[in-house]
Amino acid sequence: MSTYELYAVVMAGGSGTRFWPASRRNLPKQFLPISGSKAMIRDTVDRLKGLVPMERILVVTGAVHAPLVAKHLRKLPPENVLCEPVGRNTTPCVAWAAVEIARRAPHSVQVVLPSDHVIRPAAGFRKTLAAAAEEAADSGALLTLGVQPSFASTGYGYIERGELLHTRPGAQICGVTRFVEKPDRERAEQFLHSGRFLWNAGIFVWSTPSILAALREHAASTLSGIEEIVRAGDNATLTRVWPGLPAVAIDVAVMEKARSVRVVPIEFEWSDVGSWTALPDVHPADAHAHVVAGGAELVAQDSSHCIAYGPKGEIIALLGVRDLVVVHSGKVTLVIPRERAQDVRWLVAELERRDPRHI
Amino acid sequence: MSTYELYAVVMAGGSGTRFWPASRRNLPKQFLPISGSKAMIRDTVDRLKGLVPMERILVVTGAVHAPLVAKHLRKLPPENVLCEPVGRNTTPCVAWAAVEIARRAPHSVQVVLPSDHVIRPAAGFRKTLAAAAEEAADSGALLTLGVQPSFASTGYGYIERGELLHTRPGAQICGVTRFVEKPDRERAEQFLHSGRFLWNAGIFVWSTPSILAALREHAASTLSGIEEIVRAGDNATLTRVWPGLPAVAIDVAVMEKARSVRVVPIEFEWSDVGSWTALPDVHPADAHAHVVAGGAELVAQDSSHCIAYGPKGEIIALLGVRDLVVVHSGKVTLVIPRERAQDVRWLVAELERRDPRHI
């Protein structure tokens, strides 16, 4: 068993509007109580409790969202928040965290994970992360966690699992045959039935020297830009260099190319909670298959299969309706059928023109 | 042409929940901007402008609603607000106003009208009221206005018109054959096709001596109770005597029995705005047949025939839905199909048990 410090990097740069009107440009999903009573980023950090102490958790977020990070993670040291001037996808984010952690603990291992996913139970997840960290420290490989698919999703990237290399308590370590972009319906069905494909959940485990070496090999210009930023340590350098870094996902820039990549299949309850219709995946439904979140109270009659979201102290009252998403948040009331929930972006686009205060 | 002072009595005792969650126990419909940008009671008083000066307008309302009357009718003299300790239907209300007006102007004429109806255009309505007042002064008859039916409503009482007695500028004066309670569907169809039946709109015109005489004949105990209240002029007498007065509608207690009753048919745009589904009767629809009221802004795509209500500064956003009523008001969001809008009372009953703060 190796000796190393385990760090966590929480990627909180998302800024989607798929949860509009609850999520706004200045209040993305990770800062909302979408999956429980606390902000998702808070749940993400709480999930690491006992595995990674707060002082070894780094959060990478948009500069405008730094106050929200401080609000929801009061015990996080301010120097652990890395503020991106603009979103540049995950490669610069991973590189910045890696260089910053190398400065503090060159021989550490890192867990890198999104701030807005649901994974349960937390204890099992920590056990898997700990085993993956051991593997990363021992082997120097870049590890990714792969979710056992439960249906033929066309919304996720896939990882084709290779042979089982060995088993640790809490984790099977497998080779990776290939990464596959989001497939069409037919290929997704094939993937599901083959039993060899896993959803790419965007959760990574690697040692700090390994990720730095891989970045140097496959994303050299990004890494040197980041090194310049960390060396200078001032905002002028950050805002000058950062926007020029290529906006590429770490999967594409590094994982698909790196030589020693392994995957740890996980069978936990997992959801990236991608839109309002994902709420039933992470909240228990009531006797009429309604799901309510955000703290509001639901009062429903002759209704079923609705998704309701509103703040604490508010009421959502439904009668004679089914399969609707009903949201009240910040002076906006939204009503949309469940099967069209992703079209909320059309309304966002319309309001962008008419009254962008509500976006 | 007779000489008399014209008074108006605005009946504002209603306390329904058919516009819940906009209307509440402490905020009934007449104090809401259901039909325009101002409270309905304000529109009702404004409609009399030029016909009845503010100092001759009396408002009868529930004691708890007196502050709302003052808020929406700032120029109304405080002594013109008669506060009912509890609702006792319209006979005690009419009697109280009659005795109070008799004290101030024994030979006056009164227009008595609900505070929460829509009648347009106001100028034509005033002309009709003025003609009816002349008739009341000249003849001593009790007049009621009857609305020319536009469909076979089973929700209103009807008045069977008698012969045309004479014509005044702005009003035809007809005899009354009989008053009829709300009919069933078949009779309503007969009424509509006969051409002789009018909706009873609850708008009355009479001279003060005539209504007092009719009350003395047909509602003697109510009148003497009211006279005791006005004579004493104190709250103790009011709260002691008032609750014992029979809760009867003036139509039933007096109009159906009185000897000299006349009806003035009106063909104005009229609505008692009885529920959310009446909003399209009093608001113009947009190109997709949506109606929005209360001050909120509607943003809709792929939607039609919805009724939206919310406060100024708020957005109601709809996509892919039709024939819904969507309301946000005071921490409650309501979604209900148009054809079930009257079932909102079920939700009110349910909340009454669970969390009556929202009623």
Q: Give dist(CA A293, CA A118) in Å, integer.
A: 14
CB B4, CB B106: distance < 8 Å:
no
Are A343 and B319 inside 8 Å of each other by CB? yes
How much is the pTM?
0.89
What number is the average pLDDT over the span A48-56?
Answer: 97
Question: How far A69 CA sits from the closest chain B CA (Å)?
Answer: 28
Nearest to A358 among B315, B320, B324 (CB): B315
User: What is the arithmetic mean of pLDDT over A19-39?
Assistant: 92
Cα(B210)–Cα(B109) distance, integer angstroms? 9
pLDDT confidence bin for A227, thresholds 50/70/90: very high
Give the per-residue pLDDT at A17: 82
Integer Cα distance of A298 and A290 in angstroms: 9
Q: Kindly report, residue by residue over A294-313, the tens digit of the pLDDT.
A: 999 999 999 999 999 999 99
Q: What is the mean pLDDT of residues B28-44?
A: 94
Beta bridge partners of B112: B9, B204
- Quick check: is B207 in a domain? yes
User: Does residue A1 belong to any structural domain of this protein?
Assistant: no
Q: Are B11 and B114 in contact (CB under 8 A)?
A: yes
Averaged pLDDT, B50-67:
97
The interaxial angle of helices B90-104 and B220-232, nearest 10 deg, is: 50
Residue of B nearest to A353 (CA): B299
Chain B neighbors of A336, CB-CB under 8 A: 317-321
The helix (H) or strand (E) run that includes residue B68 is helix B66-72
- Which among B235, B251, B271 is the end of a domain? B271
Residues A224, A140 share a domain: yes
With a CB cutoff of 8 Å and minimum separation 6, the contacts of B160 are B176, B177, B178, B179, B180, B196, B197, B198
Q: Residues B5, B56: contact at Cβ < 8 Å?
A: yes
AA identity, residue B190: Q
Contact A287, A26 (CB under 8 A): no
**CATH code for the domain of B23:** 3.90.550.10
For B308, the token pair is: 């939206």
A306 and A251 share one domain: no
Whether B50 and B161 share a structural domain: yes
Q: Assign B2 a pLDDT band (cuts: 50, 70, 90).
A: low
A108 Cβ contact list (under 8 Å, min separation 6): A4, A5, A6, A7, A56, A101, A102, A207, A208
Average pLDDT score over chain B: 95
In a domain, B204, yes or no: yes
Q: Classify residue B35: in a domain, yes or no.
A: yes
For residues B13-32, average pLDDT: 90
**Does A331 contact chain B (CB < 8 Å)?**
yes
A337/B321 Cβ within 8 A = yes
Helical axes A90-104 vs A208-218, angle rounded to 10° = 140
The minimum CA-CA distance between A333 and chain B, rounded to whole Å, is 5
On the question of pLDDT at A320 being above 90, the answer is: yes
Complex ipTM value: 0.87
Which positions in chain A touch B332 (Cβ < 8 Å)?
Answer: 314-317
User: Closest partner residue to A301 among B299, B333, B347, by Cβ?
Assistant: B347
Instruction: Give me the residue from A21, A320, A332 closest to B343, CB to CB.
Output: A320
In terms of domains, do B54 and B168 share one?
yes
Mean of per-residue pLDDT scores for chain A: 95
A206 plus A351 within the same structural domain: no
What does the H/E/C string look like for B266-277?
A: ECCEEECCCCHH
Tell me which residue range forms the domain holding B295.
276-358
Residue at B34 is within a domain? yes
Q: From the CB of residue A117, how many other CB atoms can be counted at a distance below 10 Å? A: 22
**Mutate which of B24, B297, B318, B319 to disrupt the A interface (most A C-beta within 10 Å)?**
B319
Q: Of the residues A220, A254, A271, which one is the last residue of a structural domain?
A: A271
Span A177-196, pLDDT tens digits: 999 999 999 999 999 999 99
Q: How many domains does chain B have?
A: 2
Is position B1 within any domain? no
Facing B299 at nearest CB: one of A299, A319, A350: A350
Residues B134, B150 within the same domain = yes
CA distance A326 to A49: 34
Same domain, B69 and B184: yes
Same domain flag for A261 and A353: no
Q: A286 and A168, same structural domain?
A: no
Nearest to A354 among B299, B336, B337 (CB): B299
| Tens digits of residue pLDDT in A116-152 | 999 999 999 999 999 999 999 999 999 999 999 999 9
Collect all residues of chain A within an 8 Å Cβ-Cβ radius of residue B354.
297, 299
Is B307 an interface residue toward A (CB < 8 Å)? Answer: no
Beta-carbon-side half-sphere exposure of residue B289 (alpha carbons within 13 Å) = 12
Helices and strands in chain A: count of H runs, count of E runs: 11, 17
* Distance in angstroms (rounded) separating the CA atoms of residues A226 and A240: 11
Six-digit token string for B163: 């012969």
CA distance A150 to A181: 18
Last residue of some domain: B238, B271, B304?
B271
How many CB atoms sit inside 10 A of residue B177's CB?
Answer: 14
Q: Among the residues of chain A, which ranges form H helices?
A: 40-46, 66-72, 90-104, 122-139, 185-194, 208-218, 220-232, 235-241, 250, 279-282, 344-354
Q: Does residue B341 lie in a domain region?
A: yes
Same-domain pairing of B266 and B296: no
Q: DSSP of A118-152, one letter per residue?
A: EEE-HHHHHHHHHHHHHHHHHH--EEEEEEPPSS-
Does some domain include residue A51? yes
pLDDT tens-place string over residues A240-297: 999 999 999 999 999 999 999 999 999 899 999 989 999 999 999 999 999 999 999 9
Based on the fold, state whether residues B139 and B193 are members of the same structural domain: yes
Is there a single domain that holds both residue B138 and residue B227? Answer: yes
